[in-house]
Amino acid sequence: MKKVKQKARKSNTTHVFILIGILLVIIVFLFFVLQSGRKDYSQKQAQSEPSPTPSLKTYHSDFLGLTFEYPPEYEVEEEFTNAVYLKHKNGTVEIHRLFSNLTNIEDYLIGYDSHRTIEILDKQNLKIDGYNAVNRLEKFSGGPINEAKAYFIFIQNVAIYVFSTDDENLYDDLDQIARSFRYDP
Amino acid sequence: MKQARKIILFLLSLFLPFLFVRFTDSVHAETLKVWEKAENTIFPHTIPESTILPGGNVMVVGQGLEFENEAAEIYDPGTNSWKVSVGISPLRLANTVTSLKDGRVLVAGVGYSLEGDELTSEIYDPQTDTWSDGGDMKELRFIHETTLLQDGRVLVTGGLWFDRMKSAEIYDPETNLWSDAAPMSRERFYHTSTLLNNGKVLVVGGQFNGAESIKSAELYDPQTNKWSSGGNMHVTRYAHTATLLQDGRVLVAGGVEDDSVRSVAEIYDPVTGIWTETGSMNTTRFSHKATLLPDGKVLVTGGSTQNNFSDIFYTNTAEIYDPATREWELINAMNDGRVDHAAELLPNGDVLVIGGFGTGEDWLRSTEILRSSVPAPFLDLPWDYEGQGKEFADVALEINAYFDHSYPLFGSGLGEPFEYLNQITTYMGENTIRKPYSRHDGYDYGSYASGVKNGDSVYPAAAGVAEYVRDRAGGHGIFIDHGNGYQTRYYHLQDIGLITKTPGVKISVNRNTVIGKVGSTGEHTTGPHIHIGVFQDKNKDGNFDDNVPDGATDPFGWQSTEPDPWENYSFLQNGVQKTGNKSYYLWKNKIPNLKKGLSSNGGVFHVANFGLTFPEDESLDGLTLEAKLGPVERVTNSLVSLGPVIDVILKDPLGSLITILTKPLLVTIDFSKADLSRFKPGTISIYSSSDNRKTWTKEESYVDYLNKKASAEMDHLTHFALMGERIDTQPPATTVGLDGLKGENNWFRSDVEVSLKTSDNEGGLGVEIVLYKIEGGEWQEYKEPLNFTEKGEYKIEYYSQDKDGNLEDPKSTEFHIDKTIPEAKIYFDRNKGEMVIEGVDDSGDVVLEYKDLERKREQIVLVDKAGNNLVIENREKENDKRLKFEIYTLTYNHTEFLQEKNKFEVMYEEKKGEIKKLDQNFKIKDQEKVSLKYDIKDNKTKIKENKEKTEADGLKALILFTDQGELKYSF
């Protein structure tokens, strides 16, 4: 009888360890899945949506060389100065095409910010349509805008596309619009 | 490109002295004089006089037509708006308006208040915006002259009040009192009075008695209160102008000599006291206005060209006198003809012309501004984009950093207002924080897209004189003075390859001269790029540095309908009040569709294969353009358009259509996609229609067949098209073929094959398509013969079109198919007393033909319209009221059916033509099938059929008929 109990105790301990081990594996697995999911979100977003979501409209400009999708409640205003404005009753999402000889987005943003009184509150590196991009929350000292959110998509030897809005209510839309960007000359 | 530069440099070295002169001359870009309409005064003013107020506003004084508080108004050039200055007496006719040294304004002459009180002078204080009594003049007068003396007092001379006057008086602003001055030597009104540099006042000419004009001039010395002779002009004149030139001499121009209006001009030299004739104006005029321009020239505007008091011949012409050449040059005419108007030189060098009597035969409210500084476009991008196979419009907008119209202060180090930090205003009026960058005073180019890369050669945007500058922020820079009041500045150049690196050295350059290499020198540069900035020498002192930043200019101009914030920006720099600058489009090349509206810079628009280039013309300011394509035009069978027509609609700000342009519009049409093989060589031209496409006019066109572009200049709208005469104007012809066993008149007894054969006319371009339609169906393209097999009636419609769109008139053909062979019906006709054979066919008529055969047989052929035939071979015997009919064969369209021995027999008795008895029987192989026996006694027919007996009333006829090869009967 004793022997049996000892065996049972031993096997119980082993089971616990095994369970803990399994749990650990699961946790680690979940962690990595979530991380890669976040990083690859934009890529998956671009790749997993071969056709426009029915509720969104598609904008394409030969002049700007891009395509993106946007909610139908926005009105598009095109400017000849390398810009498109999406007008919403709450505010505006601006899309600009900028140019530079610099070869990476970090150097570009250093120069870009050097002429501004700006504080970066949050910054995220990501890929949009396979291109290096930066998504950031900006705070300004002076000028008409206090805070803004912007996506910079850097296409070397082509252009830098900036998607931004200073209306907090449109941040989610900005996320959707910017992440739907496709370089489409 | 390199080879070309070597050759040019070699040539330069050989002919440098001459080329230097030539290039110097060529860099002076033509300055355009453009009249722009300004805001109308609120009220019309009679004989308005004007003066500049401190701060640059303009006051105009002249009594209104309602004689209420409308005698004075103030114009703000910054906002292009007028406001009434309330408080001045309402009646102020032909008074003088003089700015005092302390900034106040003296209005002198006869005036009356609303209460009828007589007033002579009033003072306006711009600081308090109030009017006050200026004291009583010594004499009532109008059409006098007033001159601000060097000591701040004001001299008033001559005039008219019931009589012409030679008296003079002086106003002292410090005491607000008037005092007598020594009188002139003679009465004068419509004279001129000019302060000379020596402090004396030159009074010239005037009207003396009736129409008599005065030749003499006299000088007043304020120091001694004495008059002396100023000599005599070469002609007498009144209502002329006198202008103190920058060199101290006085230009006198125009006026009336007795009864004649003159164009002659002469100059008084105070040093010698001598009057010298100079160039005559292009137009005779009096009661005009003369304005000294910042460059020393004199602008003369309007006036009356004839001295006829029953009619006033006001002119809208304007001309400029150049003291250096002693010649007059006509410039663009004003929008309105006017006489006795006011004119003021604004601080920025423009000239404001106000009111007067003119267009519309009334005192005018219209105001216009002569923009004396509208430059002709003269710049190009400072790199060899064409050598890269690119066009200006492809690369000009590939901008790294923009000129900030709010505000371009970077080069000056000045800060901008807090609310404008971090944001820019582009030349389109676009406000954004996203475009680089705030305070930028030029344009940066440097990208793969624009073709500007590190180390690339930098060229001058235009020819000029270059010098080197080193700047902390800009690094190595080259500045180029273009000799037309503009300078371009290039920064961040590499240390190597600079055309000069020695400060102070000036080198002539042209578009092919390399002035440096694209680099990134200077602090905080964002990668290799070219910075190009444009500055205007606003104060025209030859020094551009003292116009940083106020001379900063955007070479893209200002393309928004909103006010340009930079042009109207007022700021303090080193204690000096300054304003920003007006930007004009300075690029030599246009960018299509820059904006939907037009401006005095013109505009270029591309719609499909059409290009519309509007010229620089102030009359286009504020107009909006709509351009749309219309369908191909066919003027005649021969003259057609090569593609769509374009409809060009111009509207003014009120929405009214503009159909006539003051300067021609260039229309270009790209016909590279047109099929020229359709058109006769040499007939292609641009046509226009001004009556909504009812009629078309051939325009003088340049047609480049190599590059497939046509162009023409036209001064009218609205429809344009490229047209030519077609080679092929004839449609093709189609014939139809019906193939089958044909009877008569398109009746067929077989399947029918329908074929369409089409051919185009000789010299034509060939058949494009043949179409057909079967009745009740749709049009289809004919590709191969059509087969019809079913019995019926058919109608086929068809037509064709050739390769040039010529359409054949539709045709049709009809035919029938009837494959059914007629049958025969044989019976005894009791009236005729004979056997009758009839054809039976659903097509209608059957024709019977008889033919005798051997052995007493005959052949009966029954034929329908389709030619289907039944041939009956038979024998008929008739013998004293006994008839026999035997059928041997039935042949249906050559298919024979042999018949069993048969006999159709008829025996009858008649009396007086009436059948008494009638026996009819039909036998096959001597077997009776049926017999009918009629007897008139009981008027019944006894019928025996297959041994069955029946009886019928009346006489029944036995009918034998054929049925697909068989013999049948009925009764």
For the residues of B505-521, what is the DSSP string, one character each? --EEE-TT---EE-B--
Answer yes or no: do A116 and B423 touch at CB < 8 A: no
> From the candidates B394, B424, B432, which should be mutated to test the interface with A, based on the most A CB atoms within 10 A?
B432
Answer yes or no: do B428 and A112 touch at CB < 8 A: no
* Neighbouring residues of A75: CB distance < 8 A, sequence distance ≥ 6: A86, A87, A88
Instruction: Round to whole Å and give the CA distance between B70 and B90.
Output: 6
Nearest to B422 among A110, A117, A162 (CB): A117
Residue B749 has pLDDT above 80, yes or no: yes
Asked if residues B251 and B243 have their Cβ atoms less than 8 Å apart, the reply is yes
Residues B125-139, mean pLDDT to the nearest whole number: 90
Q: Which residues of A touch B447 (CB under 8 A)?
A: 99-101, 159
> From the candidates A100, A103, A108, A162, which should be mutated to test the interface with B, based on the most B CB atoms within 10 A?
A100
Question: What CATH number has the domain spanning B733-817?
Answer: 2.60.40.10
Answer yes or no: do A144 and B452 touch at CB < 8 A: no
B512 touches chain A (CB under 8 A): no
Residues B52-56, mean pLDDT to the nearest whole number: 82
> From the candidates A84, A115, A158, which should be mutated to test the interface with B, based on the most B CB atoms within 10 A?
A115
Q: Which residues of B touch A79 (CB under 8 A)?
A: 428, 430
- Residue B172's pLDDT band, with cuts at 50, 70 and 90, is very high
Asked if residues B835 and B828 have their Cβ atoms less than 8 Å apart, the reply is yes
Nearest CA in chain B to A163: B434
Residue B198 has pLDDT above 70, yes or no: yes
Distance from CA of B270 to the nearest CA of A (A): 57
Nearest to B434 among A94, A101, A107 (CB): A94
Q: Which residue in the block uniquely carries the two structure tokens 């900028």? A: A98
- Residue B31's pLDDT band, with cuts at 50, 70 and 90, is very low
Q: Which residues of A138-168 are buried (b: 16+ CB within 10 A; e: fewer)?
A: bebebbebeebbbbbbbbeebbbbbbbbbbe
Q: Which residues of A touch B595 (CB under 8 A)?
A: 80
Nearest CA in chain B to A145: B433
Tell the burial category of B19 from Cβ atoms under 10 Å away from its Cβ (0-12, 13-18, 19+): middle
B430, two tokens: 């676009």
Identify the CA nearest to A98 among candidates A41, A24, A152, A170: A152
Q: Which residues of A touch B436 (CB under 8 A)?
A: 98, 112, 115
**Which percentage of chain A shows pLDDT scores above 70?**
76
A104 touches chain B (CB under 8 A): no
Tell me what pLDDT residue B328 has. Answer: 94
* Neighbouring residues of B842: CB distance < 8 A, sequence distance ≥ 6: B818, B820
Distance from CA of B450 to the nearest CA of A (A): 8
Nearest to B446 among A101, A107, A144 (CB): A101
Is the interface score ipTM higher than 0.90? no
Question: What CATH number has the domain spanning B377-552+561-579?
Answer: 2.70.70.10
Write the pLDDT tens digit of every residue in B667-681. 999 888 788 888 998
| Greater model confidence, B608 or A74 | A74
Coil vs helix vs strand at A151? strand
* Neighbouring residues of B269: CB distance < 8 A, sequence distance ≥ 6: B249, B275, B276
Nearest to A143 among B422, B427, B526 (CB): B422
Write the pLDDT tens digit of every residue in B871-889. 999 998 888 889 999 999 9
Identify the CA nearest to B145 among candidates B103, B198, B185, B195: B195
Q: Which residues of B touch A80 (CB under 8 A)?
A: 397, 428, 591, 593-595
Q: Which residues of B touch A115 (CB under 8 A)?
A: 436-440, 524
Instruction: Round to whole Å and give the CA distance between B729 and B678.
Output: 10
Say which CATH topology domain A51-183 has. Protein Transport Mog1p; Chain A (3.40.1000)
User: How are beta strands B747-748 and B811-817 bridged, if at all?
Assistant: parallel
Residue B413 has pLDDT above 60, yes or no: yes
B422 touches chain A (CB under 8 A): yes
Answer yes or no: do B432 and A141 touch at CB < 8 A: no
A166 touches chain B (CB under 8 A): yes
Distance from CA of B433 to the nearest CA of A (A): 8
For the residues of B246-290, what is the DSSP string, one character each? TTS-EEEE--EETTEE---EEEEETTTTEEEEEPPPSS--BS-EE
Domain ranges, ordered by start, for chain B: 377-552+561-579, 603-720, 733-817, 823-970
Residues B907-925, mean pLDDT to the nearest whole number: 91
User: Which 595-624 residues of chain B touch chain A by CB within 8 A?
Assistant: 595
DSSP state of B240: -
Cα angle, residue A160 at apex, residues A154 and A162 outer, rounded to 5°: 105
Question: Of B204-218, B278-292, B605-619, where does the model show the most confidence?
Answer: B278-292
| Greater model confidence, B948 or A80 | B948
Tell me what pLDDT residue B64 has. Answer: 80
> From the candidates A62, A81, A103, A166, which should be mutated to test the interface with B, based on the most B CB atoms within 10 A?
A81
Residue B359 has pLDDT above 90, yes or no: no
B452 touches chain A (CB under 8 A): yes
Residue B226 has pLDDT above 60, yes or no: yes
Other C-beta atoms lying within 10 Å of the C-beta of residue B763? 9
Distance from CA of A53 to the nearest CA of B (A): 28
Q: Which residue in the block uniquely carries the two structure tokens 């095994």? A: A18
Q: How many CB pairs under 8 A join A and B?
A: 118
Identify the CA nearest to B530 among candidates B466, B451, B583: B451
* Dihedral angle sign, alpha carbons of residues B178, B181, B186, B189: negative
Length of chain B: 971
Residues B561-590, mean pLDDT to the nearest whole number: 87
How far CA B483 is from CA of B371, B464, B583, in Å, comes to 19, 7, 18
Identify the CA nearest to B280 among candidates B259, B303, B300, B295: B300
DSSP state of B718: S
Tell me what pLDDT residue A3 has. Answer: 32
Q: Which residues of A touch B420 (CB under 8 A)?
A: 143-144
B399 touches chain A (CB under 8 A): yes
